[in-house]
Structure 1
Amino acid sequence: MDTENVKATLTIDAPAASVFAVLADPVTHSAIDGTGWVQESVDRVPLTEVGQIFRMDMYHPNHPNGDYQVVNKVELFDTARTIGWLTGYEKDDGDLEFGGWIWRYDLTPLGPSETGVTLTYDWTAVPPYVREYLQFPPFAPDHLANSLQHLSGLVPRTGEGANPVA
């Protein structure tokens, strides 16, 4: 694979601030997820700043325990423009370790009530030892597009439906 990221874009008939509000609420993340792996947000406080930590309960049939928990750290936060987080886990000693991949949403206002949303999953910073046991991306190609469709369904509407742009 030549690139170490995948992207999908969708136009949503809603202001960027409305789309961002849904993304900044960890409670909505299980409904946005296109894989079905995200089960529930452990932390229910809205995301407000870089460095903020939030946890998610997960399930994957190929995970050694099936059920597990991830720790996310907000890396990008520009209200109504960009939000992104690294995903990792809490080690036995309580320290947090992140795998090097990031989920990023970029919002582009296309008018007062229309927003272009690009979701990027980037694994450029994943170290070699993680690549030995995880394949990237670890989900089907349609995951990002599914996630954006789910996001679109959660955002309060100002017009008709959402229109795909990629």
Structure 2
Amino acid sequence: MDQENVSATLTVAVPAATVFAVLTDPGTHSAIDGTGWVQEAADRAPLTEVGQIFRMDMYHPDHPNGNYRVANQIQVLDPPRAIAWRTGEEKDDGHLEFGGWSWRYDLVPLGPSETEITLTYDWSPVPQRIREYLHFPPFGPEHLANSLRHLARLAAPTSTT
């Protein structure tokens, strides 16, 4: 595969600020995830600044431990238009090591109550030493579309009747 990123786009009948608020709440990420790998947020503080670290508990049957934790670092935070983070792990000594892949949500307001959301997974900076044991992308093509549908459901206004 020559392309080193994949993306999906969905238009939702929800204001961009509402969608952005869901994305900046780490507690929603397991419900957004389209693979089922994200289990729950280990850090629940809202995402508010570039450089902020938030950790997520994960599960993958092919991971050596099954259960593991990732450390994500915010790289872009442009309310309500974009949020992106890179994913890595925290070593036993507290040092963070990032693998080179990142997640990015771009939100384009199409009016006061409609937003186009694009989710991009980029692995172009992943070094060869990691590519030798991890296949990219590590999920099927439906993952990003599923994640966007889950996000849309979480962000949609709920009926009070």
Q: What corresponds to 1:51 in structure 2?
A: 51
SS at match of 1:14: coil
CA–CA separation in structure 1 for the residues paired with 2:28 and 2:120:
18
SS at match of 1:35: coil
Q: What corresponds to 1:122 in structure 2?
A: 122
* Residue 157 of structure 1, CA deviation: 2.8
Amino acid paired to 2:92: D
- Superposed, which structure 2 residues align to 1:5-16 within 5 Å? 5-16=5-16
* Residue 9 of structure 1, CA deviation: 0.2
CA–CA separation in structure 2 for the residues paired with 1:20 and 1:97:
27
Q: Is residue 25 of structure 2 the alignment partner of residue 25 of structure 1?
A: yes
Amino acid paired to 1:6: V
Count of equivalent residues: 158
Structure 1 stretches of at least 4 aligned residues deviating more than 2 Å after TM superposition:
none
SS at match of 2:35: coil
- Superposed, which structure 2 residues align to 1:1-166 within 5 Å? 1-157=1-157
Q: Show structure 1 runs of 5+ residues with no match.
A: 159-166
* Residue 40 of structure 1, CA deviation: 0.2
Amino acid paired to 1:38: V
Amino acid paired to 1:48: T
SS at match of 2:120: strand
* Residue 156 of structure 1, CA deviation: 3.1
Alignment deviations for residues 109-149 of structure 1 (CA, whole Å, 9 cap, x no partner)? 00100000000000011011010110000001100000000
SS at match of 2:57: strand
* TM-score computed with the length of structure 1 as normaliser: 0.94
* Residue 2 of structure 1, CA deviation: 1.7
Contact preservation (8 Å) 1:13, 1:157: no
SS at match of 2:55: strand
* Residue 92 of structure 1, CA deviation: 1.9
CA–CA separation in structure 1 for the residues paired with 2:94 and 2:49:
22
CA–CA separation in structure 2 for the residues paired with 1:156 and 1:27:
17
* TM-score computed with the length of structure 2 as normaliser: 0.96
SS at match of 2:18: helix
Amino acid paired to 1:157: P
Identity, % of aligned positions: 72
